[in-house]
């Protein structure tokens, strides 16, 4: 069976290719993709060839909702028609193309262990679009969980990207006050538009504004950007014995040169996270379902899969402004969404 897939062919190069799926075994399932979503951080790093373990060519992505179309006779977990969340980790196709989690493709043959049951009925368009970002939002959940956020604390978030915007919402559920620092003026304006407190790092009054928000210092520093100069600046605004979370990408040596002495002087606790676990994903899914974690305002672009390469052009160039991007692989769903 053949299917179309997004393929990163080499650094900063991408195309749509037809690939040939392996024959489904009796312990596997055939899943047809309904929607996928782009992870703006991870997929950009993969596309640039900088993410750890990146090989070319590859099928990227880890956000995918699909429908089970065929079930091997030894499979007990799912039935035909089940809506599931998962991706093609093993890359079960004949071409010599690596799976970098392999979400962005029309069909996949996989082991059922890599999938989570969502529903026996097709969710609404709203639910599909918001649920598909579960793993990315769960990264923020993990950050808040690791920081052990407490009521009444103040948290400074470096970078108003998707993860940071989710983290601020999650912090508020713990009655913690958040403020962003962000260099990109479009992101500053976007965060303000959805009601979040954000400071532009290039403002002449930046240091004064930061001090006024937390005169006694911030309890928590949450880094999603990986910019050493900003980490150093914000650490100076931290309370003694505060907590610092390093959750950005630090692949380049230049992104790892931070002032450890300032961190030591403040006696900060440094925490790091990588990926998510079942707890993060389950709890995040529930918060999205209950609409306590609002994903829809963070979605800026939607594409039918035949136009999905436009999304990667946006991702690579960063212009026009983009944040959450959803790709529809089902024509009927796409037509319903565009009505």
- For residue range 184-200, what is the model confidence (pLDDT) as tens digits? 999 999 999 999 999 99
The rounded Cα 99 to chain-centroid distance in angstroms is: 18
Collect all residues with Cβ–Cβ distance below 8 Å to 249 and sequence separation of at least 6: 41, 42, 45, 50, 51, 226, 255
What percentage of the chain reaches a pLDDT higher than 90? 94
Question: What's the length of the chain?
Answer: 339
What integer best gives the mean pLDDT of the chain? Answer: 96
pLDDT-derived band at 205 (thresholds 50, 70, 90) equals very high
What percentage of the chain reaches a pLDDT higher than 70? 100
Token pair recorded at residue 148: 């052990």
Give the residues across from 328 on adjacent strands.
Answer: 35, 304
**Residues 267-295: tens digit of each pLDDT:** 999 999 999 999 999 999 999 999 999 99
Whole-Å CA distances, 300 to 40, 276, 303, 315, 321: 12, 24, 11, 12, 8
**Residues 119-173: tens digit of each pLDDT:** 999 999 999 999 999 999 999 999 999 999 999 999 999 999 999 999 999 999 9
Class in CATH terms, 2-133+295-338: alpha beta
Token pair recorded at residue 253: 């040596």
Q: What angle do CA 7, 11, 12 make, to 5 degrees?
A: 80
Q: Tell me, what's the pLDDT at 339?
A: 86
Quick one: which H or E segment has residue 179?
strand 177-182
Using DSSP, state whether 263 is helix, strand or coil: helix
The fold of 137-272 is Rossmann fold (3.40.50)
Predicted model pTM:
0.96
Q: Tell me, what's the pLDDT at 253?
A: 84
Ranges of each domain in the chain = 2-133+295-338, 137-272
């Amino acid at each position: 069976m053949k299917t179309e897939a997004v393929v990163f062919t080499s650094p900063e190069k991408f195309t749509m290719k037809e690939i040939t799926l392996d024959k489904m075994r009796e312990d596997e399932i055939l899943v047809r993709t309904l929607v996928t979503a782009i992870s703006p951080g991870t997929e950009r790093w993969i596309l640039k060839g900088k993410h750890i373990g990146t090989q070319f060519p590859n099928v990227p992505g880890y956000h995918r909702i699909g429908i089970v179309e065929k079930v091997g006779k030894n499979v007990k977990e799912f039935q035909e028609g089940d809506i599931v969340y998962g991706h093609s980790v093993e890359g079960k196709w004949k071409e010599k193309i690596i799976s970098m989690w392999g979400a962005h493709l029309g069909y996949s043959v996989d082991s059922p262990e890599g999938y989570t049951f969502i529903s026996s009925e097709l969710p609404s368009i709203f639910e599909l679009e918001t649920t598909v970002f579960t793993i990315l939002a769960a990264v923020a959940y993990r950050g808040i969980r690791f920081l052990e956020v407490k009521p009444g604390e103040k948290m400074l978030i470096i970078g108003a990207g998707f993860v940071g915007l989710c983290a601020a919402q999650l912090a508020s559920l713990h009655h913690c006050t958040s403020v962003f620092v962000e260099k990109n003026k479009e992101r500053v304006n976007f965060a303000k538009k959805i009601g979040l407190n954000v400071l532009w790092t290039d403002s002449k009054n930046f240091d004064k504004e930061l001090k006024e928000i937390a005169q006694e210092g911030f309890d928590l520093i949450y880094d999603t950007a990986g910019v050493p100069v900003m980490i150093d600046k914000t650490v100076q605004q931290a309370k003694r014995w505060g907590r610092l979370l390093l959750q950005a990408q630090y692949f380049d040596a230049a992104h790892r040169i931070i002032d450890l002495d300032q961190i030591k002087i403040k006696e900060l606790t440094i925490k790091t996270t990588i990926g998510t676990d079942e707890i993060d994903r389950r709890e995040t899914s529930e918060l999205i379902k209950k609409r306590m974690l609002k994903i829809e305002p963070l979605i800026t672009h939607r594409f039918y899969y035949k136009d999905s390469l436009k999304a990667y052009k946006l991702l690579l160039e960063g212009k026009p402004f983009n944040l959450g991007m959803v790709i529809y692989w089902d024509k009927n769903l796409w037509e319903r969404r565009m009505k």
